[in-house]
A and B are shown apart, each in its own frame.
Chain A
Amino acid sequence: MTDIAGIQTAIDRFMQSDTRGALLPLLHALQEEFGHVDPAAVPLIADALNLSRAEVHGVISFYHDFRTEAPARHVVKLCRAESCQSRGGAAIEAQLSHQLGVAMGHARKDGQVALEPVYCLGLCAIGPNALVDDRPVARIDSARVVAIASEVEA
């Protein structure tokens, strides 16, 4: 059930800050509060910022971070960039995908966990790296893959 009133309240609260170029900060605030940016929020945002719905939709769809559906309960963001690749990232990606039972870039059907790609976390000499629910994890090997998998089942 979409909480239109709740979204409107959050938008109204944000608008008091009188931020210039407010669209991205507003989208971040909504995603922070609701876990995702509901498509039903688009006309409300457009109205608040005096933008067209197309402009708002365009921004939401342009940036990888903004989700239009509720996220899985746990999100594992595994780095796929060059430095992690040089440290065996591809093999770890395959193992992690297998252990979690979900393909890279997808959420598992039961909504428990999603495996998402990220391109560099800035920990480039201690890879392969991941963010497990926003906690950085480095030097991922087979044992850590298993540990991550059991952590996100909880």
Chain B
Amino acid sequence: MTRVFISKDMASLALGADAVAQAFAEAGCEVVRTGSHGLFAIEPLVEVETDEGRVAYGPVGPDDVAAVLDGSHGARIGAIGDHPFFARQQRFTFARCGVTDPLSLADYAAHGGWKGLEAAIGLSSQDVVDAVKASGLRGRGGAGFPTGIKWQTVLDTPADEKFIVCNADEGDSGTFADRMLMEGDPYCLIEGMAIAGHAVGAGHGYIYIRSEYPFAIEAMREAIARSAGKIAPFTLEVRVGAGAYVCGEETALLDSIEGKRGQVRAKPPLPAIEGLWGKPTVINNVLSLAAVPFILAGGAQAYADVGFGRSRGTMPIQIAGNVRNGGLYEVGFGVTLGELVNEIGGGTASGRPVRAVQVGGPLGAYFPPSMFHLPFDYEAFAQAGGLIGHAGITVFDDSVDMAHMARFAMEFCAVESCGKCTPCRIGSTRGVELIDRIVVKTPRAAGVLETMPQIRNASRSARTHDQEVELLRDLCDTMKHGSLCALGGFTPYPVLSALDHFPEDFGGGNALPEAAE
């Protein structure tokens, strides 16, 4: 019987993989459902097992079964690793994704699984933390804080119980790596969390998954049940979010697990010292934890050997939006934005010129093609007034209205603000109003209040367009420095970058002022 491999990743399902799988099963094939290799353009992808290895075809429809099985199908790719999208990738974290049956413990073990955990158990807690430090791994959720240092803090804080929390509340538009890993290689995350538990002395872990990812929730729950014996005495459970973007912020996430409104906590105290239920807590992104098994199994040096500057290891970059070859591209840091968008991504799906890319989700900056020389690196992006965030890149063609996107950023912040701090809660709403007035070029008239004799320090005349833009910049400055967390604090990135790089969309060429910092 011919064995064929078809992804059951949510993206593949959305493109009709279930019907394809059913058609192959009806034709008498043994169908193995895997995760996705990560290139959406070739989904639904079918890999046929042959004497020369797996031969891939994609995209494939349910009517193509015969042509695929006799090898005459036009969309023959050959070995998936030879496809240009995959040939230059460095898959450390996503090595198994798309290859194995995600829930098969035998597959996981046969493809190098549990080696990291076994190595960790043979080491002392401090040695494991030292290995993570030596690898140079930095938090993949966006902040880029060194993971080893965080673990050291938790290890050094005495407590009767400690927790490992995995942040799988991947709310940023343009990101899907966490989802793909949880659906395609859930044991990798479980192994990473078990290693973290051993490293800091924590007995229980939570994986907080957003409710928009029903397939990831199901996969993780099943994988936890099946691997319980393997990671014992460490235990894990899944907690499901409820549609609040702000719960991706680590302290809001902790409150949400505790059963409260997902409101941000003021720091300090750091979660590493007083986290979940006031106990020392490691809270890491899915990709940070999933990188750990490789580091322990392959050696910290092997991980640190790849990368750029102070950004070590690989980053699973997500190329999304209006792009021809969108998908997951894991590679060492240092690849340039232009390579990612034009060479790997193949330009826009619409065929029109690229006008802007947003890097790092809804709170990331918009960059014009003139900045495509930027290397993918935490520091380089910070210097350019942006962030790499969770490494999602959303491509826009020349039909995009950047003032509209700036307004959307403010609107999104207003909808999703947890309400705890004023710059975010009120500032975002004022920001929407301001951008609306700027775009239609009807600056605010002098209000009744300002004209009253008691008001001495307010302008009594109507504002000019330039004053409105200045006020928007001032508002962004307040939000950036006055907000408790990244939601209010980073919303200015898309707004200001749109204003700086695309002033023509805001009703006139406002000169870029000298950087004040």
Contacts and interface: CB of A to CB of B under 8 A. Distances in A.
B93 interface: no
A14 interface: no
Contact of A123 (B172, B176, B397): B176
A136 B14 CA distance: 5
A126 interface: yes
A89 to B, nearest CB: 10
B326 A122 contact: no
A118 interface: yes
A139 B400 contact: no
Nearest to A87: B322
Interface string A34-61: 0000000000000001000001001100
Chain A facing B: main interface SS: loop
B245 A119 contact: yes
Contacts of A85: 405, 408
Interface stretch (B130-138, B190-198, B388-396, B434-442): B388-396
A125 B412 contact: no
Interface in A2-36: 20-25, 27-28
Nearest to B206: A21
A118 B319 CA distance: 20
B261 interface: yes
A137 B261 CA distance: 31
Given A122-B10, A124-B174, A125-B327, A134 B214 contact: yes
B261 A129 contact: no
B199 interface: no
Interface string B231-265: 00000000111111100000000001111111000
Interface stretch (A63-71, A94-102, A106-114): A63-71
Most chain B C-beta atoms within 10 Å of own C-beta, residue among A25, A125, A129, A136:
A125
B258 A124 contact: no
Nearest to B392: A124
Chain B facing A: main interface SS: mixed
Contacts of A79: 173
A55 B263 CA distance: 13
A124 B243 contact: no
B15 A138 contact: yes
Nearest to A77: B212
A104 interface: no
Contact of A136 (B10, B40, B170, B277): B10
Contact of A82 (B11, B214, B323, B362): B362
Nearest to A120: B173
B311 interface: no
Contacts of B180: 122
B358 interface: yes
A88 to B, nearest CB: 8
Contact of B174 (A28, A82, A139): A82
A103 interface: no
B261 A124 contact: no
A86 interface: yes
A23 B260 contact: yes
B35 interface: no
Contacts of B262: 62-63
Contact of A83 (B13, B15, B321): B321
Most chain B C-beta atoms within 10 Å of own C-beta, residue among A87, A122, A123:
A122
B340 to A, nearest CB: 13
A121 interface: yes
A20 B206 CA distance: 11
Contact of B173 (A22, A24, A82, A131): A82
Contacts of B314: none
B211 interface: yes
B261 A58 contact: yes
A62 B412 CA distance: 15
B179 interface: yes
B259 A24 contact: yes
Contacts of B178: 122
B362 A66 contact: no
A55 to B, nearest CB: 8
Contacts of A121: 10, 212
Contacts of A55: 260
A123 B10 contact: yes
B14 A83 contact: no
Interface in B385-411: 392, 394-397, 400, 405, 408
B349 interface: yes
A28 to B, nearest CB: 6
A81 interface: yes
A121 B180 CA distance: 12
Contacts of A136: 10-11, 13-14
Contacts of A27: 242
A24 B240 contact: yes
Interface string B354-387: 0000100010000000000000000000000000
Nearest to B323: A125
B100 interface: no
B318 interface: yes
Given A28-B240, A87-B321, A126-B326, A23 B212 contact: no
Contacts of B260: 23, 55, 59
A129 B213 CA distance: 13
15 contacts: A23-B260, A28-B240, A49-B259, A59-B260, A59-B261, A63-B244, A81-B362, A82-B362, A86-B395, A119-B173, A120-B173, A121-B212, A123-B176, A124-B321, A125-B40
Q: Closest 5 CB pairs between A and B?
A: A125-B326, A81-B173, A124-B320, A23-B259, A63-B242
Given A24-B259, A123-B176, 12 more contacts: A63-B242, A63-B244, A63-B262, A120-B170, A120-B174, A124-B176, A126-B14, A126-B15, A127-B321, A136-B10, A136-B13, A136-B14
